[in-house]
């Protein structure tokens, strides 16, 4: 791979049996197109992560982009902090994603180091952090393991440090859930995905991406110790929360 990416047509042809979704080389090759056309507001969220970094990243601290994929959030943080003396650690357990990420990181010029680490985010020790980003990553962690990950993030953040947690959510009431799922599908159709692509991708993600309600996220963040928990972005069933230690 060369750092060039392609249009997402992974589910365009009818498939006999649909395997569970994995973040392999085929996905890494189309990822920027896939996420932009699948997550309403993705570009805004990435831009605002950069803006938040500009406000809240402290000198001599570390920033973590957990489940970084092609390091879009890490690069937004790097742009947001300018020439601040800090370090960014971008972690993903998909070697294919990190291979592609390396091209994007090398292409962008900055004095701020970005370490690309191939590991499970649950095994990373968070240390001296002023900002941690989980941008659509927690939803792929087994539900029973999510609290422990958030606890280790909380423990590794400095006082006043921030966590940006973006997730696909499910709504607690059927009418709301139905409407938001419909609206998300309408968004994907408007982005050029066919009914077949939408339904095959949905099947592939069914057992892999487990959404929880906004209330569950809020409660767990408070339980692990975050003093302030606010929704700063929402478009249908896609939400980004800001939690402050
Ligand atoms: C972005 N944040 O563009 N350990 C490490 N990485 C993991 C784990 C794990 N246990 N589980 C999943 N991943 C990115 C987008 S994508 C979201 C994040 C999506 C990684 C996985 O390999 C993938 O790269 C990423 O989390 C989720 O701002 O595709 O909807």
**Pick from 10, 21, 241: which is nearest to 136 by CA?**
241
- Residue 40 clears pLDDT 50, i.e. is over it: yes
- Cβ atoms 131, 201 nearer than 8 A: no
Per domain, the residue ranges of the chain are 42-170+211-244
The fold adopted by the segment(s) 42-170+211-244 is Rossmann fold (3.40.50)
Pick from 23, 33, 75 the residue to mutate for probing ligand 1's pocket: most ligand atoms within 8 Å of its CB: 23
**Pick from 31, 114, 120: which is nearest to 79 by CA?**
114
Residue nearest to atom 20 of ligand 1 (CA): 67
Pick from 21, 96, 101, 137 the residue to mutate for probing ligand 1's pocket: most ligand atoms within 8 Å of its CB: 137
Span of 12-21, 176-185, 202-211 with lowest mean pLDDT = 12-21
Residue 174 has which token pair?
Answer: 């059927």
- Cβ atoms 231, 76 nearer than 8 A: no
Q: How confident is the model at residue 186 (pLDDT cuts 50, 70, 90)?
A: very high
Instruction: Check residue 236 and give its pLDDT.
Output: 95
Pairing state between β 238-244 and 228-235: antiparallel
- Cβ atoms 201, 188 nearer than 8 A: no
Instruction: Check residue 38 and give its pLDDT.
Output: 94
Q: How far is the CA of 65 from the centre of ligand 1 (A)?
A: 10
Ligand 1 proximity of 100 Cβ (cutoff 6 Å): no
Average pLDDT value over all residues in the chain: 92
Q: How confident is the model at residue 1 (pLDDT cuts 50, 70, 90)?
A: very low
Per-residue pLDDT of 120-173, as tens digits, reads: 999 999 999 999 999 999 999 999 999 999 999 999 999 999 999 999 999 999
Q: What is the mean pLDDT of residues 78-82?
A: 96
Instruction: Check residue 60 and give its pLDDT.
Output: 97
Helix (H, G, I), strand (E, B) or coil at 95: helix
- Cβ atoms 244, 174 nearer than 8 A: no
Ligand 1 proximity of 240 Cβ (cutoff 6 Å): no
| Ligand 1 nearest atom to the CA of residue 209, by list position | 30
Cβ of 61: how many Cβ atoms within 10 Å? 20
Residue 73 has which token pair?
Answer: 């959030």
Q: How far is the CA of 20 from the centre of ligand 1 (A)?
A: 15
pTM, entire model: 0.95
Per-residue pLDDT of 97-115, as tens digits, reads: 999 999 999 988 889 999 9
- Cβ atoms 198, 215 nearer than 8 A: no
- Cβ atoms 63, 77 nearer than 8 A: yes
- Cβ atoms 106, 70 nearer than 8 A: no
Q: How far apart are CA 202 and CA 32, in angstroms?
A: 18
Residue 237 has which token pair?
Answer: 């069933």
Ligand 1 proximity of 67 Cβ (cutoff 6 Å): yes
Please tell me the total number of residues recorded for the chain in this structure.
Answer: 245
- Residue 192 clears pLDDT 60, i.e. is over it: yes
Per-residue pLDDT of 215-233, as tens digits, reads: 999 999 999 999 999 999 9
- Residue 200 clears pLDDT 50, i.e. is over it: yes
Q: How far apart are CA 215 and CA 179, in angstroms?
A: 18
**Pick from 31, 194, 148, 12: which is nearest to 99 by CA?**
31
């Amino acid at each position: 791979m060369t750092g060039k990416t392609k249009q997402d047509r992974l589910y365009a042809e009818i498939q006999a049996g649909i395997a569970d979704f994995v973040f392999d080389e085929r996905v890494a090759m189309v990822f920027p197109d896939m996420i932009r056309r699948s997550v309403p507001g993705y570009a805004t969220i990435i831009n605002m992560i950069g803006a938040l970094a500009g406000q809240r990243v402290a000198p001599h601290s570390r920033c973590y982009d957990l489940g970084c994929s092609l390091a879009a959030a890490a690069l937004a943080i790097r742009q947001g902090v300018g020439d601040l003396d800090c370090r960014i650690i971008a972690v993903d357990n998909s070697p294919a994603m990190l291979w592609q990420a390396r091209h994007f990181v090398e292409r962008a010029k900055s004095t701020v180091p970005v370490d690309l680490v191939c590991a499970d985010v649950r095994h990373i020790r968070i240390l001296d952090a002023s900002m941690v980003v989980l941008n659509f990553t927690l939803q792929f962690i087994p539900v029973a393991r999510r609290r422990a990950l958030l606890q280790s993030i909380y423990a590794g953040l400095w006082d006043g440090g921030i966590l940006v947690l973006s997730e696909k959510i499910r709504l607690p009431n059927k009418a709301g859930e139905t409407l938001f799922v419909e609206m998300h599908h309408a968004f994907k159709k408007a982005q050029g995905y066919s009914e077949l692509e939408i339904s095959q991708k949905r099947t592939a993600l069914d057992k892999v991406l487990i959404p929880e309600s906004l209330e569950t996220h809020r409660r767990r963040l408070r339980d692990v110790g975050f003093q302030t928990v606010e929704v700063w972005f929402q478009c249908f069933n896609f939400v980004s929360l800001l939690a402050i230690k």
